[in-house]
Amino acid sequence: MSNWIPLWLHRLSSPPTFYRFAGTLQPWAMTLALLLGAVALYGGLVLAPADYQQGDAYRIIFIHVPSAWMGMFIYAVMGVAGFIALVWRIKLAEVVAMQSAPIGAAFTFITLVTGSLWGKPMWGTWWTWDARLTSELVLLFLFLGVIGLYHAFEDRRQGARAAAFLAIVGVINVPIVHFSVNWWNTLHQGSTVNVFGKSTMSWDMLWPLLTMTLATKCYYAASLFRRVRTDLLDLEGGKDWVRQIAESEADR
Amino acid sequence: MNALQHFLAMGGYAAYVWPAYALFFVVLIADTVAPRLRRHQVLRELRARLARQSVRQERKPPSTPASP
């Protein structure tokens, strides 16, 4: 039996090792995010043709949909990391779950506001209590609830475990957001991009959308690495490896 | 109307498209800057704590007698 994978994972979950690992990957993830983002913006804003029904207003899709996918993706990551934190009591899993929450909240907020800016010219209203919009708002409140609960405890690790529990319970909302356009036939349009089966979207519009999705994934990795590193320094403040970093960065 | 003006007009939807893109970048830039500021703060506090500890150790000599 090969047991090097669990061993490698175990080593990686030690804070100083992960700090170095994340520090190596972080600039690459950010560079990739900026490159892919620039290509996607050029493709979406310049190369892609105007929509025959929505004109140029549809171009909001290139940030709205990737942000919406990231909101759900980050929530799922937070739920899984929260589960690992509760079951195996791994400190790194707590940190990953809690540091994912602000990034997920940022993307969900972007989704709601860009959707509002898209809804006004197309639907004639900034907001409506449509199933998709409402469940997305609940997603934002879940992220904010996790952040709030985490900070409500004096003991940070206790706060992380309580917030991880809330995160796990809230995972039920992710499929509700996803399937809301099928379950309730209200205002928000159905999905035009399908992982399994054919997407009902022109390739000229689809490739910038998928490129931006990759860019936001890379951005999340970069932002998460940056946040986790900072939080590990705070959490492990008394340890030698943090002390060395603090002293070596004093000159700068 | 030249090409740039045509592009910026966004077919009459400029008032919706550009604020959406502006918000996207403002929120993500804030998300990038916030942990950097916190990192500086965390390290500054840690260095201050280490400095206080070393001062305290200098003031109070170790209880074990030093060898001659």
DSSP state string for A13-32: TSHHHHHHHHHHHHHHHHHH
The pTM of this model reads: 0.90
Question: Which residues does chain B have within 8 Å of residue A120's beta carbon, measured at their own beta carbons?
Answer: 16
Interface test with A, best of B28, B40, B44, B54 (most A CBs within 10 A): B28
Regarding an ipTM greater than 0.85, the answer is yes
Given this model, what pLDDT does residue B50 score?
87
Residue A29 lies in a domain: no
Please say whether the beta carbons of A77 and A3 come within 8 A: no
Instruction: Give the pLDDT confidence score for residue B2 in this predicted structure.
Output: 84
> A249 in a domain, yes or no?
no
Per-residue pLDDT tens over the stretch A229-241: 999 999 988 888 9
Longest dimension (CA), chain A: 62
Q: How many domains does chain A have?
A: 1
- Does residue A242 lie in a domain region? no
Q: List, in sequence order, every beta strand (DSSP E) within chain B.
A: none
Asked if A219 has any chain B CB less than 8 Å from its own CB, the reply is yes
Nearest to A63 among B20, B43, B47 (CB): B20
User: B35 CA to chain A: closest CA distance, Å?
Assistant: 6
CB of A223 within 8 Å of a chain B CB? The answer is yes
pLDDT of residue A247: 83
A-to-B residue pairs, Cβ atoms closer than 8 angstroms: 88
Integer-rounded Cα Rg, in Å, for chain B is 28
Q: What is the CATH number of the domain that holds A157?
A: 1.20.120
Residue type, position A70, single letter: M
Q: Has residue A35 been placed in a domain?
A: no
Q: Please, which residues 5-64 of chain B have a Cβ atom closer than 8 Å to chain A?
A: 7, 10-13, 16-17, 19-21, 23-24, 27-28, 30-32, 34-36, 38-39, 42-43, 46-47, 49-50
Residue A143 sits at φ, ψ, to 5 deg, of: -60, -45
Check residue B67 and give its pLDDT.
Answer: 56
- Cα(A110)–Cα(A108) distance, rounded to whole angstroms? 5
Amino acid at the residue A107: F
A60 vs B17, B35, B36: nearest CB: B17
Q: Residue B63's pLDDT is what?
A: 61
What gap in Å lies between CA A64 and CA A140, rounded to an integer?
15
| Domain-located, residue A208 | no
Residues of chain A with pLDDT under 50: 1
Residue-wise pLDDT tens digits, B4-18:
888 888 888 989 999
Supply A239's token pair. 């340890």
Q: How far is B26 from chain A (nearest CA, A)?
A: 10
Judge whether A3 lies within some domain: no
A160 is a domain residue: yes
Report which of A242, A223, A220, A243 is spatially closest to residue A233, judged by C-alpha positions.
A242
Residue A167 domain-assigned (yes or no)? yes
> What domain range includes position A147?
59-186
Residue A51: strand pairing partners: A55
User: B68 to chain A nearest CA, in Å?
Assistant: 31
In the prediction, which pLDDT does A252 show?
A: 55
pLDDT tens digits, B27-51? 999 999 999 999 999 999 998 988 8
**Phi–psi pair at A126, nearest 5 degrees:** -75, -35
Amino acid at A87: V
- Which residues of A fall within a CB distance of 8 Å from B35? 223, 226-227, 230
